[in-house]
């Protein structure tokens, strides 16, 4: 057990004599404590994080003949891809990742595991005000849209010009095309960084006369918090050219509304011996080991400890200092990661027993805010899923990732109850069917830090420590959709497979 291992050994250091205590040398935990672990796992690549990016990387590496192991803190793969399945009807509802951009990498990955996809533009949904079409996934349920200030349940008169939205989106796409290189990672940013990309997104949209598109970007870009204040590069990395095209031509989703099926089959393909569920890295020794391999101590769900011996490591989890506690960060890594001082929050779930009219959705809005966007933290809307009786979405965003889950749930219920009271229906305490935190959602640095070359320094970390450590785009830019796989597939995978 870990408690029996001396602290210095856990940190990967060997103690020196009293005369040389100011210096240290790295030592192999395996060499010093042979027999202390139930299992030593040796792999070509250790993938830290089993979300979309980590799973795609692990599968791609296995396909290339590499041995892999995935370390995942949850009891499943897929990260923010989460599906509720009703125990009576068997109807699935995706509450995390709902749609994907129609990119080749997405199509190939789903096809590999024989998971059928459907284009949302080809599916026949219900007419707003009518019951849901049970043959199509729940997110396609169409409702009558109203605008409500969820701070008090009052109606909001929206003054948007719908006819200008299309031209504004086309104009936004034209401007974004100038910076399309950011889709392959912020490390490609030129220096100096174009001022368009570091200015607040609200100022960017005003500068280019595109403000009519802001409500659409806000609705699609759930999880970005108060996006008007975010540096533009983060917003157009998330809501990008692929989204503009998909709004016109359709997104992809699993044909039966169960995106989690992809990860169930990927887990089977990787095999149980190559996935450590409910596990986290508790210490790392990536520098000088007798085997010239990186070593990770991992807490396992059986309460024990596993030792991983890795030729290379791929980190796909958010690189916050708290997530990397116990890692042997270099001074450069610590300096770079500590500048990711911002993070938005996003939480999703389902509740039953709201009792409102299920054919009407209450979009959160505010009468006197810029572009009438809601004041966060708050629900994005109060809306029924349609395919199950009196079951409602919970999607709540915040500018901070630190709200406790209990506080988020309580806030969501209060806002639903305000709508109940305003609509004259009984005020209830809804039953939670599922709840999931996606925080931290979007890690970000400040404008001055970006101008100062932050992402150039980040790029310098890639492949560091003698080619042992690589960072997935998902670790820094949480958008659990297909284009992060493109980053993994075209950039990370070749870098990692060029060495044995």
Higher local confidence (pLDDT), 383 or 180: 383
According to the model, what pLDDT value does residue 226 have?
95
**CATH class belonging to 36-79+257-341+446-497:** alpha beta
Q: What is the pLDDT of residue 492?
A: 60
Task: Give me the pLDDT at residue 430, please.
Answer: 98
Q: Is the pLDDT of residue 182 over 80?
A: yes
Tell me how long the chain is. 500
In the predicted model, is pLDDT for residue 284 greater than 80? yes
Please tell me the predicted confidence (pLDDT) of residue 4. 30
Buried b (16+ CB within 10 A) or exposed e, 203-214: ebbeeeebbbbb
pLDDT for position 18? 31
Q: What is the mean pLDDT of residues 464-490?
A: 56
CB 325 within 8 A of CB 58: no
- For residues 343 and 442, the answer to whether their CB atoms sit within 8 Å is yes
Residue 421's pLDDT band (cuts 50, 70, 90): very high
Mean of pLDDT values over 73-85? 95
Average pLDDT, the chain: 87
Q: What is the pLDDT of residues 129-176, one digit of tens each?
A: 999 999 999 999 999 999 999 999 999 999 888 899 999 999 999 999
| Helix, strand, coil shares, percent, the chain, to 5 | 35, 20, 40
Q: Is the pLDDT of residue 106 over 90?
A: no
Angle between helices 165-176 and 241-249 (to 10 degrees): 140
- In eight-state DSSP terms, residue 356 is S
pLDDT tier at 463, thresholds 50, 70, 90: confident
- pLDDT classification of 414: cutoffs 50, 70, 90: very high
List the chain domain ranges: 36-79+257-341+446-497
The H or E element containing residue 125 is none
State the pLDDT confidence band at 3, using cuts at 50, 70 and 90. very low
- Looking at residue 24, what is its pLDDT? 32
pLDDT at res. 36 = 60
Over residues 288-319, the pLDDT tens digits come to 677 788 999 999 998 888 999 999 999 988 88
Return the pLDDT at 338. Answer: 94
């Amino acid at each position: 057990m870990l408690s029996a291992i001396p602290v210095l050994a856990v940190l990967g250091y060997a103690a020196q004599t009293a005369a040389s205590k100011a210096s240290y040398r790295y030592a192999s935990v395996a060499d010093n404590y042979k027999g202390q672990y139930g299992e030593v796992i040796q792999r070509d690549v250790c993938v830290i994080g089993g979300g979309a990016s980590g799973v795609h990387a692990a599968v791609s590496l296995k396909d290339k003949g590499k041995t892999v192991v995935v370390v995942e803190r949850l009891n499943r793969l897929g990260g923010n891809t989460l599906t509720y399945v009703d125990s009576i009807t068997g109807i699935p509802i995706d509450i995390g990742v709902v749609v994907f951009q129609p990119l080749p990498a997405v199509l190939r990955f789903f096809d590999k595991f024989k998971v059928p996809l459907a284009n949302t533009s080809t599916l026949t949904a219900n007419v707003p005000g009518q019951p849901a079409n049970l043959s199509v996934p729940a997110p396609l349920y169409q409702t009558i849209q109203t605008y409500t200030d969820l701070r008090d349940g009052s109606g909001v008169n929206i003054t948007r010009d719908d006819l200008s939205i299309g031209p504004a989106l086309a104009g936004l796409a034209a401007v974004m095309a100038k910076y399309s290189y950011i889709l392959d990672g912020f490390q490609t940013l030129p220096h100096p960084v174009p001022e368009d990309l570091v200015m607040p997104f609200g100022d960017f949209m005003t500068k280019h006369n595109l403000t009519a598109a802001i409500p659409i970007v806000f609705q699609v870009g759930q999880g970005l918090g108060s996006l008007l204040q975010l540096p533009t590069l983060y917003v157009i990395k998330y809501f990008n050219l692929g989204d503009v095209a998909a709004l016109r031509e359709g997104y992809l989703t699993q044909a039966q509304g169960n995106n989690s099926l992809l990860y169930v089959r990927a887990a089977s393909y990787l095999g149980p011996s190559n996935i450590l569920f409910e596990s986290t890295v508790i210490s790392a020794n990536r520098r000088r080991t007798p085997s010239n391999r990186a070593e990770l101590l991992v807490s396992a769900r059986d309460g024990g400890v596993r030792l991983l011996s890795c030729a290379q490591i791929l980190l796909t989890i958010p690189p916050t200092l708290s997530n990397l506690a116990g890692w042997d960060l270099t001074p450069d890594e610590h300096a770079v990661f500590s500048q990711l001082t911002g993070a938005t929050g996003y939480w999703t779930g389902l509740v039953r027993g709201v009792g409102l009219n299920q054919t009407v959705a209450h979009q959160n809005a505010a009468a006197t805010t810029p572009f009438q966007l809601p004041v966060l933290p708050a629900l994005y809307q109060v809306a029924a899923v349609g395919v199950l009786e009196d079951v409602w979405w919970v999607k709540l965003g915040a500018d901070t990732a630190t709200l406790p889950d209990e506080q988020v749930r309580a806030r969501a219920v209060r806002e639903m109850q305000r709508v109940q009271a305003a609509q004259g229906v009984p005020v209830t305490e809804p039953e939670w069917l599922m709840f999931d935190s996606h925080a931290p959602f979007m890690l970000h640095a400040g404008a001055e830090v970006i101008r100062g070359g932050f992402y150039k320094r980040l790029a310098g970390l890639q492949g560091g420590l003698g080619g042992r450590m690589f960072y997935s785009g998902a670790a820094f830019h949480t958008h659990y959709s297909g284009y992060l796989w493109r980053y993994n597939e075209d950039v990370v995978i070749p870098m990692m497979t060029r060495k044995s």
